[in-house]
Chains A and B, each alone.
Chain A
Amino acid sequence: MSVRRIGVLALQGAFDAHRRVLTGLGVEAPLVRSTRDLEGLDAIVLPGGESTTMQRFLARDGLFEALGEFVAARPALGTCAGLILLAREVEPHQPSLGALDVTVARNAYGRQRDSKVLRSETRLPGGPLEMVFIRAPRITRLGAGVEVLARRGDDPVLVRQGHAIGCAFHPELGNDDRVHRLLIEACAHV
């Protein structure tokens, strides 16, 4: 098998941390800043950061449309602001790609002082998963066919639909690469 190429959207945000995890897993992880950077990728990571900042870039040069086509056809992992991008609906409203049939509320768990690290059992094998929440968004509605892989209390925080994976926390900031492995596994099923 040739080496996987998983792009990391690098308009603004935690692209660096995602790239470190992916290269640690033996994956090529080129940065994506324009439509032509999407060529030849097996999958994409939409990182955390400020979704309002990313919107400014997506609105130009056909990037929003190109990303929409990409995530409809290939695996994608969206974390935090990236989850907001993947969602069907966002509160308060902003344009999103709609690959995951969920509604996401921005900054719903509060400001930085409400950020925290939690550990809990999930549907992923291998014991409790460490979850780093930073000014995290909250999934407020789940569509039919969306699988919940992890929860924070009653709230879903790791979800999957087809080859789209959404994550309210930051797997790139922990020492556990199981969420990134899910994305790599998804590449084999496309």
Chain B
Amino acid sequence: MFTTSAENQQRAERMRLKVGLAEMLKGGVIMDVCSVEQAEIAEAAGACAVMALERVPAQIRAEGGVARMANPRLIKSIMAAVSIPVMAKARIGHFAEAEVLASLGVDFIDESEVLTPADEVHHIDKHGFEIPFVCGARDLGEALRRINEGAAMIRTKGEAGTGDVVHAVKHMRQIMAEIRNLAGMREDELYVAARDHRVPFSLLQQVAAQGRLPVPNFSAGGIATPADAALMRSLGAEAVFVGSGIFMSDGRTFAPREEAEQRARAIVRACTHFDQPEVVAACCEECDGAMKGLAVSSLEDRELFQGRGW
């Protein structure tokens, strides 16, 4: 079906509002929260947004079972409690969960591999929604496929719920290196690159010309300390998501409140002053503990969340 230029203009305008909110979150920390109390701790510590969910990734990993969208009651109570933007997760391909979240008026929807996928073939058609979406990616092709479907923000997948930053690093390096490679290509080579990345040529051409993704590029999946946040920002992440790293001691135990507050404040500060090691050092010093964590290299392939989505 062909779209009219008025429809195209409307879609472009809507996309601008979506990417606009993502621009507002740059330089900040988006924190996973499972209760009103945690949301208030996150806001007081300086989080630029919260992700409302029933279980953080470390708990999902430890407890197993099917992970789904959070109960709307929980999401609404968090939206009522804080003034910063509230995000929530829908399962990959589960557009009915996304429609529920949109009807609640959440500010951003994360079509997330941390939840159990609902569709093995299709991602959600995100252009159809007024609410912006963020999606995970491991490489440039995956990022651009999600953007092509309407994602207004990309985050590296890393490996959520581990407290091990190694794959957040791997995925950010991969995306940034692939963007740099495009800059040196001739146009005839770009056609081949578009085929190899399985993305539209026009989108790849735009990335090659601008030297960056057309939407903000954030990082997630294993960031647990102020130094981790600084590392990801230095590698090109424009903001970071911290999931289990603030409120968990391990997959089954919450950190004491005071410790969670220290970690939250310290990671926020390190994220902004990532290029000043003496400030990051002071942030590290402020933290009494860190999540115990789980080395990604000790996990079997089937235990990885990052392979969900394509």
CB <8 Å contact, B84 and A52: yes
CB <8 Å contact, A116 and B27: no
Q: What residues on B are CB-neighbors of A117 within 8 Å?
A: 13, 16-17
B72-112 at interface with A (beta carbon < 8 Å): 83-85, 102, 105-108
CB <8 Å contact, B46 and A52: yes
A54-B60 Cα distance, complex, nearest whole Å: 32
Q: How far is the CB of B175 from chain A (nearest CB, A)?
A: 17
**A86 in the interface, Cβ–Cβ < 8 Å?**
no
**A112 in the interface, Cβ–Cβ < 8 Å?**
yes
* Contact code string A152-171 (vs B, CB < 8 Å = 1, else 0): 00000000000000000010
Among B177-185, B245-253, B265-273, the stretch in contact with A: B265-273
Q: What residues on B are CB-neighbors of A14 within 8 Å?
A: 20, 23-24, 26
B238: nearest residue on chain A (CB-CB)?
A16
**A113 in the interface, Cβ–Cβ < 8 Å?**
yes
Given the interface pairs A10-B27, A12-B272, A132-B20, the reply to whether A53 lies near B107 with Cβ below 8 Å is no
A12-B46 Cα distance, complex, nearest whole Å: 10
Q: Which among B20, B83, B105 is the interface contact of A113 at CB below 8 angstroms?
A: B105
Q: What residues on B are CB-neighbors of A78 within 8 Å?
A: none
CB <8 Å contact, A173 and B85: no
CB <8 Å contact, A12 and B130: no
**B172 in the interface, Cβ–Cβ < 8 Å?**
no
Please, how many residues of chain A have a CB less than 8 angstroms from a CB on the other chain? 33
Please, how many residues of chain B have a CB less than 8 angstroms from a CB on the other chain? 35
Q: How far is the CB of A40 from chain B (nearest CB, A)?
A: 19
Q: How far is the CB of B300 from chain A (nearest CB, A)?
A: 38
B42-60 at interface with A (beta carbon < 8 Å): 43, 45-49
Given the interface pairs A56-B45, A134-B20, the reply to whether A50 lies near B131 with Cβ below 8 Å is no
From A12, A16, A135, A172, name the one whose CB has the most chain B CB atoms within 10 angstroms: A12
**B158 in the interface, Cβ–Cβ < 8 Å?**
no
A49-B20 Cα distance, complex, nearest whole Å: 10
**B132 in the interface, Cβ–Cβ < 8 Å?**
yes
CB <8 Å contact, A50 and B24: yes
A134-B22 Cα distance, complex, nearest whole Å: 10
CB <8 Å contact, A13 and B26: yes
A49: nearest residue on chain B (CB-CB)?
B24
CB <8 Å contact, B46 and A112: no
**A17 in the interface, Cβ–Cβ < 8 Å?**
yes
**B304 in the interface, Cβ–Cβ < 8 Å?**
no
**B28 in the interface, Cβ–Cβ < 8 Å?**
yes
CB <8 Å contact, A16 and B20: no
A115-B108 Cα distance, complex, nearest whole Å: 13
Q: What residues on A are CB-neighbors of B24 within 8 Å?
A: 13-14, 48-50, 80-81, 134-135
Q: What residues on B are CB-neighbors of A172 within 8 Å?
A: 23
A111-B102 Cα distance, complex, nearest whole Å: 11
A62-119 at interface with B (beta carbon < 8 Å): 80-81, 106-107, 111-113, 115-117
CB <8 Å contact, A135 and B85: yes
A-B contact pairs, 28 of them (CB 8 A): A11-B272, A12-B26, A14-B23, A16-B238, A17-B23, A33-B272, A48-B23, A50-B24, A50-B28, A50-B49, A53-B28, A55-B46, A56-B46, A56-B265, A56-B268, A57-B46, A57-B269, A81-B24, A106-B83, A111-B85, A112-B131, A112-B132, A115-B17, A115-B20, A117-B13, A132-B20, A134-B20, A135-B107
Mark B residues whose CB is within 8 Å of A: 13, 16-17, 19-21, 23-28, 43, 45-49, 83-85, 102, 105-108, 130-132, 238, 265, 268-269, 272-273
With A12-B48, A33-B273 already in contact, 9 other A-B pairs whose C-beta atoms are closer than 8 Å: A12-B46, A13-B48, A48-B23, A53-B268, A57-B269, A80-B24, A134-B20, A173-B16, A173-B20
